[in-house]
């Protein structure tokens, strides 16, 4: 999906990216896949931090943020647990849904 197409989409998820200097995962694809799995009228109640590697620059080097509604992707890790690249968006969705009602798993 091109930049223009992404900008026209409903913003049902707040995403914060790292700068992407040397990503080991496709950060934009992860965000797109997660957005596409949200229902059309569904809005995620958590912020998704996506970093291209485990340095986790997007979340200020935190692999997991416990004091707010947030899910952290840092390379092949989601909230501090390993997640192989093809499984990242699915794992993120599980974590986002767990965030509802401020409950974090």
Cα 97 to Cα 90: distance, rounded to the nearest angstrom: 11
| The only residue of 64, 70, 71, 73 in contact with other proteins, by rule CB under 8 A | 64
Q: Which is nearer to other proteins, 21 or 40 (CB)?
A: 21
| The only residue of 6, 43, 68, 81 in contact with other proteins, by rule CB under 8 A | 81
Helices (H), the chain: 3-8, 27-37, 88-99
The distance from CA 46 to its chain's CA centroid, rounded to whole angstroms, is 9
Q: Which of residues 26-55 bind other proteins (CB under 8 A)?
A: 26, 52-55
Q: Which is nearer to other proteins, 32 or 45 (CB)?
A: 32
Cα 66 to Cα 23: distance, rounded to the nearest angstrom: 24
Residues contributing to the site for other proteins (CB under 8 A): 22-26, 52-56, 61-64, 74, 77, 80-82
């Amino acid at each position: 999906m091109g930049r223009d197409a992404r900008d026209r989409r409903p913003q049902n998820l707040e995403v914060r990216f790292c700068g992407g200097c040397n990503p080991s995962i496709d950060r934009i694809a992860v965000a797109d896949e997660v957005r596409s799995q949200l229902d059309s009228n569904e809005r995620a109640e958590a912020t998704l931090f996506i970093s291209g590697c485990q340095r986790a620059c997007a979340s200020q080097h935190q692999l997991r943020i416990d004091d707010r509604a947030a899910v952290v992707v840092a390379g092949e890790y989601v909230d501090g647990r390993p997640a192989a690249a093809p499984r990242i968006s699915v794992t993120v969705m599980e974590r986002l849904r767990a965030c509802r009602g401020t409950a974090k798993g």
